[in-house]
Amino acid sequence: MRILITRPLDDSEATAAKLRALGHEPIVAPLLEIRFLDNAEIDLNDVQAILATSANGMRALERATQIRDIPIFAVGPQTAEAAKLAGFTQIKNAKGDGAALAEAAMNWAKPGDGALFHAQGKETKGGLADVLKKHGFEIRESVLYEAAAVEHLPQAAAAALQSGGLDAAMFYSPRSARIFFKCVVNAGLAQTTSGFAALCISKATADALSPLNFRAIHVAGRPDQDAMLRLVAEAARL
């Protein structure tokens, strides 16, 4: 299958490698550009663990500090893998979303053992911190990167839509889905989406694509890469 990947570049390339290994033809077309904020202030003194809610947060942290001996509480497998590649060795994986990480962190840590540091992006909402603060945790938050939306469809995406040869497109967040919707409408290509399937990491992501029409819309059973790849396998059988 020819599959459009709308994730930021590093994440798209990682997904593309997995798709090629499965015999598919990936088309990398990021809708978000990651910009690391190298002047971000980081205070890791007396921090018992780092909350990592994205692989890009870990990449930003890798750039910002040489410290590697603080435990990482990762939201899911991709973030845990990014932490491993960055050189961290104490990594716990919540295998879910922000709510799963909050619940796991309350089991893995105690409020009296030190602060939790959240390596976050500019667009990250405060839900995780709010939950943990209510349970007595001190949360230190530092914006380490921003994910800037593209204003127009990447050339690869526009060409794939115009050719009519797409089989599926992968969407990993409501925000990227909203950007896709806006760009497709502005480019006059909204009618082309009826020719391929939308593979979405969550129902909220699928809802953000409305009112575009797709050949089919599939929602992952879990918000992670493995579940998204299972959607690809299911779509290939249809």
3-state secondary structure of 17: helix
Res 126: pLDDT: 64
Separation of alpha carbons 20 and 36, rounded Å: 28
Question: For 2-31+150-237, which CATH class?
Answer: alpha beta
Whether the per-residue pLDDT at 9 is higher than 80: the answer is: yes
pTM as predicted? 0.88
List the structure tokens of 142: 């530092």
Main-chain dihedrals φ then ψ at residue 228, nearest 5 degrees? -65, -40
Question: Hey, how many other C-beta atoms are within 10 angstroms of the C-beta on 115?
Answer: 18
pLDDT band at 185 (very low <50, low <70, confident <90, very high): very high
Around 211, how many Cα atoms within 13 Å sit in the side-chain half-sphere? Answer: 0
Q: Where in the chain is the domain with CATH 3.40.50.10090?
A: 2-31+150-237, 40-147
Amino acid type, 13: E
In tens, the pLDDT along 113-150 reads 999 999 898 887 668 999 999 999 999 988 999 999 99
> What are the angstrom distances between the C-alpha of 14 and each of 51, 93, 194?
22, 19, 27
According to the model, what pLDDT value does residue 125 have? 62
Q: What average pLDDT does this structure show over 17-36?
A: 96
Tokens 């410290």 belong to: 67
pLDDT at residue number 94:
95
What is the pLDDT averaged over residues 82-99? 94
Instruction: Report the top-level CATH class of 40-147.
Output: alpha beta
Using pLDDT thresholds of 50, 70 and 90, give the confidence band for residue 228.
very high
Q: Beta-carbon neighbour count of residue 190 at 10 Å?
A: 15
